[in-house]
Amino acid sequence: MEDRLLIWKLNRGSEDALCRIYEKYRDDLVRIAAGLLNDVGTAEDVVQDVFFMLVHSAGKYEIRKSLKGYLTSCVVNRIRNLNRTKSTQDPVSLDDVLPAVSDSKAPDQSVISDEEFQYLYKAMAQLPYEQKEAVILRIQGRMKFKEIAKLQGTSIKTTLSRYSYGLSKLRSMLNSEVEK
């Protein structure tokens, strides 16, 4: 209900509504994008582009379902377009993946805390993109399998398979990393 009201206000040019939507969803969207891209800087750029698109389309389109779902779909589609042009998803070994943590104290750098999460991101970089997408959208995006299947253009069964294969691969990779 709040989202519908915010959209209604945004369609009428309300800055407060825009700020509220930004505060509410920006961090989650960056988290999802960072998981898909393995790069927080690019993730922030993608999310910013999506919000720009939202501002430009205010009043032109009607968002009938969940606002978060809509924004997440936009982020995912934008990342796919980016991957098509950049080919950043070539499989790499764990040793070759650049650390997601930045030691720079520059204000435009974001950091990922905790060694555990570093291992996680390294492991996720090895997953095929569709499986990684299914896992992140399900767990971090809290999307239903039906919504993920629609986004990926596949059946629910295929999405479920991708999700469970992705999780078991992550488990085996993280376990082998722990055993080292």
Partner 1 sequence: MRPAENIKRLIKNTRIKINPEVKKAALKELTDELEKSKTAGLVGTKPDMWRIIKQPLAMKLAAAVVIMTTLYFVIFYAGTNEQSGNTELREVQSKPLAEMMSILTINTIYRQGGFDAVQRHFEVISEMKDSHHRHMVTLRDILAELNGNGYDRRQL
**Binding residues for partner 1 (CB under 8 A):** 11-13, 15, 18-19, 22, 26-27, 30-31, 34-35, 40, 44, 48, 51-52, 55-56, 58-60, 62, 64, 107-114, 116-117, 120, 135-136, 139-140, 167-168, 170-171, 174-175, 178
CB of 60 to partner 1, least distance (A): 8
Q: Which residues of 129-161 are buried (b: 16+ CB within 10 A; e: fewer)?
A: ebbbbbbbbbebbebebebbbebbebeeebbbe
Give the nearer residue to partner 1 in terms of CB position, either 88 or 118: 118
Nearest CA-CA partner of 83 in 140, 132, 146, 149: 132
CB of 34 to partner 1, least distance (A): 6
- Asked if residue 112 lies in contact with residue 40, where contact means CB atoms within 8 angstroms, the answer is yes
Task: Tell me the C-alpha to C-alpha distance, in Å, between residue 86 and each of 31, 55, 105, 116, 177.
Answer: 20, 26, 28, 28, 29
Q: Hey, what amino acid is at 15?
A: E
Give the nearer residue to partner 1 in terms of CB position, either 97 or 167: 167
**DSSP codes of every residue in 73-84:** HHHHHHHHHHHH
CB of 174 to partner 1, least distance (A): 6
Give the nearer residue to partner 1 in terms of CB position, either 103 or 114: 114
CB atoms within 10 A of CB 43: 22
CB of 58 to partner 1, least distance (A): 5
Structure-derived torsion over alpha carbons of residues 20, 26, 27, 31, reported in degrees to the nearest 10: 160
CB of 158 to partner 1, least distance (A): 19
